[in-house]
Amino acid sequence: MPSNNWLRDDRMIGLQWLGRAEGGYGNPGVVYWLHNNSKSDDALAEKSAAVEIWDTLIALAQQLPETASVRAEVLAGALYGRDLAVIIRWGWEAMVWGYRGDQAGGQYNHTALATAIANYNLAWAAYNRTLATQPLAATPFHDFYEGGSEMSGYVPGIGASIDVYRGK
């Protein structure tokens, strides 16, 4: 399987690179490779499993005594990690369903795609609430890959990929 070449620092790239036969450094884009090797469902299961692991970490953090000096840090990290994992889980689900529809000549599973996008939107809202309420949370992630959308050198990310499939 190709390496994780879609996250960078605090950014998430989208199908512009992930859906290409030749992505970064000569490797195929991950979504392209997964689709063409019948591994997309395995990748989606991996993303769901990551959310479950973060849920377990939240439960463990909540068991720490209120007086534990690290409780707030551990809990903030676990909440942040879970919310980010949920964004990734639903963002990947939307990209996979969108890519499948593209490969099928525009025959999309509208229900699955709409569900994934709605959950992706909810995940970003929850993530932003966590950032607003957990001052000890990590640096915010962005849905673009390079530069802001108004900056030169802009490379769209997962957000732009999801936007392509809204309403399909």
Assigned token pair, 153: 């050198």
Which amino acid type is present at position 168?
K
- State the Cα–Cα distance between residues 99 and 116, nearest whole angstrom: 13
Domain extent for 67: 40-165
Residue 146: beta bridge partners? Answer: 155
In a domain, 5, yes or no: no
In a domain, 24, yes or no: no
In a domain, 146, yes or no: yes
In a domain, 23, yes or no: no
State the residue for tokens 């849920």.
55
**Mean pLDDT computed over 23-31:** 74
Candidates 122, 124, 102, 120; CA nearest to 168 is 102
Using the predicted structure, report yes or no on whether residue 114 has a pLDDT greater than 80.
Answer: yes
pLDDT digits (tens, 9 = 90+) for 54-111: 999 999 999 999 888 899 999 999 999 999 999 999 999 999 999 999 999 999 999 9
In a domain, 111, yes or no: yes
**Mean pLDDT computed over 127-143:** 91
In a domain, 4, yes or no: no
Using the predicted structure, report yes or no on whether residue 6 has a pLDDT greater than 50.
Answer: yes
pLDDT at residue 153 in the model: 63
In a domain, 9, yes or no: no
pLDDT at residue 2 in the model: 47
In a domain, 125, yes or no: yes
DSSP string, 35-100: HHTT-HHHHHHHHHHHHHHHHHHHHHHHHS-TT-TTHHHHHHHHHHHHHHHHHHHHHHHHHHHHHH
CB neighbourhood size of 151 (10 A): 9
